Amino acid sequence: MKKPDIRLIALDMDGTVLHTDHTISKENERAIKQAIAQGVEVVFATGRHFSTCKAYAASLGINYLITVNGGEIWTINGELLDRNTLSKEAVAKYQKLYNRYQPWTWLVSKDRVWRNEQPDRLENDTWLKFGFDVSDDKVRENMIQELSEEKSIELSNSSPTNIEINAVGVNKAKAIEKLCAKLDIEMNQVMAMGDSLNDIKMIQEAGFGVAMENAQDEVKKVAEWVTTHHTKDGVAEAIDKWLLS
């Protein structure tokens, strides 16, 4: 396989660059810093809120963060470059399903993350992402079916048992395109790495898509290459092989 021309590396965090204890290994840190030293722009493309990933980015010298599945784009200095919020219809659909199934939830507003709790009046806040965690396969399938009927939302997941809800058209790939336009980089010069359904579009649309060994099968099917497990420094292996070697 021909070595790709890489000018930007987009990294998912959980299940990709982070180990199970939510730390960045020495090997992953080394590879990321070497890539940056070679002039490659390394960015996080994560489902996390900016507040929960800024410190990781700062420790590595990363300048840009794509957060809440592409709902926001930030600079490391806290400048908001782009934001996409959920519609009133999406909020109403979330509330309807929550009332019916009472699943474990997390809600991401522009200001904070609510974990298995929520404000009294959802309509009074600005929402970026909703999430459900549902261990019962049948219930989860029913919820996905109902959510699919709402045209103002985009569905993905960050693990096999959860459902993540963003505004329609919001995904990591679209955010990477916007950032690339700002940086004068082409999508075919992007290497993207991830493990879950919220990574599929960026892996498909990047010039070189990498799935983790621990990735969901659907993600592996669309990747150009599968690296080792996230607990075995798969990010470092991919950067070493396709950029640094």
Res. 1: pLDDT tops 90: no
Res. 181: pLDDT tops 90: yes
Task: Check if the beta carbon of residue 230 is closer than 8 Å to that of residue 19.
Answer: yes
Q: Which residues are catalytic?
A: 12
The most distant pair of C-alpha atoms in the chain lies apart, rounded to whole Å, by 55
At 132 the pLDDT is: 97
At 102 the pLDDT is: 95
Res. 39: pLDDT tops 90: yes
pLDDT tens digits, residue range 13-26?
999 999 999 999 99
39 DSSP assignment: T
Average pLDDT over residues 184-206: 98
Residue 169 buriedness (CB in 10 A; 0-12 / 13-18 / 19+)? exposed
Q: How far is CA 65 from the centre of its chain?
A: 10
Task: Check if the beta carbon of residue 196 is closer than 8 Å to that of residue 209.
Answer: no
How large a percentage of the chain has pLDDT more than 90? Answer: 98
Question: Do 88-167 and 8-83+171-244 have the same topology in CATH?
Answer: no
d(CA 149, CA 153): 9
Closest CA to 178 of 165, 191, 187: 187
Show me where the domains of the chain are located: 8-83+171-244, 88-167
State which fold the 88-167 domain adopts. 3.30.1240
Pairing of strands 64-67, 72-75: antiparallel
Res. 212: pLDDT tops 90: yes
Beta bridge partners of 83: 72
Res. 174: pLDDT tops 90: yes
Could you give the 3-state DSSP secondary structure of residue 65?
Answer: strand
Average pLDDT over residues 69-75: 98
Backbone angles phi, psi at 17, to 5 degrees: -85, -25
State which fold the 8-83+171-244 domain adopts. Rossmann fold (3.40.50)
